[in-house]
Structures are given as C-alpha cells and as structure tokens.
Amino acid sequence: MAATKLIPYKVQIHPNGKASEDDLWDLTDLQQYDTTVQSQLGTSSEAPAVSDVETFTDLFRAFCQYYETNLADLGEEVERLSNVTLALSTDWESSEQVVEGNLYLGNYGVVRNLVDRQSGERRERGRDIDDAEEKPLYFMTYTPSGNAKEAYLLLERSRRYGAKEPFHITLRRWIRENYSDEVNVKIDPVRTEDIFPKMREADRTVRLRLEKDGSPDQLHSDFDTVFDQEEMKQAIEFRPEGGDDMNLVVDELEAWYNQSETAFEMIDGVSYNNVKVTIAKNNSDETISLTKGEAELRKNIDLSDIAEEGDIPVLSEISSRAHGFLTTVTGGRTGTSSLFSS
C-alpha cells in the first residue's frame, strides 16, 4: 500500500514587500483591492486577464479552468524542476467555499518501451523523452467566511510524489500574469505550534524512531523466499541505555524542523515516511511526529488504508476523508462535505 497522506497548508495573499498581518488581503472580498492593485499585466501571458472575482475561491476556480486545458512546464522557470509538469484533471468540482479534485503532476525526460503483459505486444519508445508520466494527486482549497485572511489547502502526497512546490510556483505565476503583478501568494505548512513546548516540558526523551519503506530481501536475497509480502515497512530505533534520558536539545531540533519544507523527510539522502520522538512525563509516554504537516495530526491524515484503483486513491473516498480532516486543520466545524459523494 502506498504511503499516502494529506498535507495541510495555509494560503495568504499580500502586496509585494508587505507581508505583515495588517497587509494580508481579505480573501472573501477581493473586489475592494481592484482599484489599487490591478496594475498593467505582463504581455507574455496568453491567458485572458481575470477580473471581477469576489473571493479567493472565485480566483482559484479560474486558475483550475485555465490549467484544465493548459500545461505548466516548470522547467522553464525553475532549474531543479526541469522535468516537471503540472495540470488539472477534469475531475474537480467547486462550491461557494471549496474547490477540490485531482491535479496532474507530470515527469518527463526518460525513454521507455511499453509492453502489454497479456498480449506481449511491445511499443518501442512508447514513452519518449518529451512524454510526461502524470500522477493524479488530490487537492482541496477552503476559504472560510467572514473577513478571512487565509485560506486552507490540502495536498495529497504519495511516496515520492509531492506537488507543493510545483503547485505554489504555478499558482503564484498565474496570479501575477492574469490577476495582479503587484501581489505575492504565500503557501506555508500548517504546524502544531505546541510540539516543542511539550518536548521542553518533558521529564525525559526515551526514543527516536525513523520509518521508511523497505523489505528484508534488501538485507539478504534469501529473505525473498522466506517472506511472501512484497511491500513492508522498516524502522530504525534509538533508545538510551537503561531507560535513561537521551538529553534532547530542543532548540537544535526546532531549528532543523524550521529549515525547509522537507525537514526529516530526507536525511543524508535517505527518504523517510515518518520521524518520531517519544517523550516521558509523569510516568506516561507521548510520541510526537516531526514529519512536516503531521505533528499532532498524523492519525487524521494517514491515508494508507483508503480504497485505491491501481495505485490511485478513489476520489470520493479521499474527498470524504479530507473534509473530516479539514475540521481538525481549521480548529472548528466548517460545514463542508465532499463534492464527490454519490
């Protein structure tokens, strides 16, 4: 089963160079800014300019409509994404506050033969160097009502497939070219702020655990015949001798956590699904996930048990789970429900 999860983010719009709380736009009333920031747009965009949108939901709906029939080639702007594309599937819906569905994250730059395993028919270079293999990934945006200065974004992450950076770059560029070139779009992870105070208040740190995909036959080929299960998890655990304290330096851990979007997901070139620290206080233990977007929320965003078609989660099921998770992310009832319910 794929290591699939939903990562929550906050979306904010602010004028270029002005990112204080007072400068953030009200995402439920964008029309109030039209006369002051709707400047002359760049001439490079082939898309028509977007105007007369009232909310971020309206603006994002226009973004989806554009990329449903157009392709973003990220390599034209960011060298490290030189083989990445992004587009919108036709499987998306919208309501007054929600836009949700599937985006397509593509990768190109390799040549492969394709063979029908039943007929044996082979197509030489069936996938050519300019052909992008697209992975559907779920997304949802939610704009709260009433003077909201931030919207919420949920993005599916499936093993090595994560769309946050391509998505952010594409949305930011599209808004600048088609709505206003005097604003910036921020997309930051939703974090549980109290995990580090909890660590500081702990009596002891008793365990560090790193989890990733793996199987015994990676250690020795004979394990391949011993165990019939192909997909497994493996973990590395560190514990102090005699149940003592690991003497965690919380300030150093917090600094590492804040360094990047992928802190603890990639360590010394090795990809991990989860990194956990177990603390003890008053004779009880608590395990805290350090993986971005998962702290204190992991039980709500782990989608490894969701129904799949091939390796793709069923859209109606992931949507239903996402709306339940949205309540946890926002800290209150949203009143939303899946737009894909049968």
pLDDT digits (tens, 9 = 90+) for 1-42: 336 778 889 999 999 989 888 999 999 999 888 655 554 444
Q: Higher model confidence: residue 194 or residue 138?
A: 138
User: What is the DSSP code string of 31-67?
Assistant: GGGHHHH--PPPSS--SPPP----SHHHHHHHHHHHH
Report the mean per-residue pLDDT for the chain.
84
Q: How confident is the model at residue 224, as a pLDDT?
A: 67
Coil, helix or strand for 201? helix
The yes-or-no verdict on residue 297 having pLDDT over 70 is no
Q: How confident is the model at residue 295, as a pLDDT?
A: 46
Least confident of 97-106, 124-133, 203-212, 218-227: 218-227
Q: How confident is the model at residue 43, as a pLDDT?
A: 43
Q: Higher model confidence: residue 309 or residue 250?
A: 250
pLDDT digits (tens, 9 = 90+) for 247-276: 999 999 888 888 776 778 888 888 888 888
Q: How confident is the model at residue 4, as a pLDDT?
A: 75
**Integer CA distances (angstroms), 112 to 32, 115, 130, in order:** 52, 10, 11
**Integer CA distances (angstroms), 25 to 95, 145, 189, in order:** 21, 14, 19
Least confident of 194-208, 229-243, 322-336: 229-243
At 323, the pLDDT band (50, 70, 90 cuts) reads very high
- Tokens of residue 102, six digits: 């599937």
At 300, the pLDDT band (50, 70, 90 cuts) reads very low
Q: How confident is the model at residue 54, as a pLDDT?
A: 92
Q: What are phi and psi of 104, to 5 degrees?
A: -115, 120
Q: Domains of the chain: which residue ranges?
A: 4-191+299-330, 195-292
pLDDT digits (tens, 9 = 90+) for 28-86: 999 888 655 554 444 444 545 787 789 999 999 999 999 999 999 998 778 888 899 99
Mean pLDDT of 121-137: 93
**Residue 239 and residue 14: Cα distance in Å, rounded?**
46
Coil, helix or strand for 187? strand
**For the whole model, what pTM was predicted?**
0.71
- Tokens of residue 19, six digits: 């990112």
Count of H-run helices and E-run strands, the chain: 8, 18
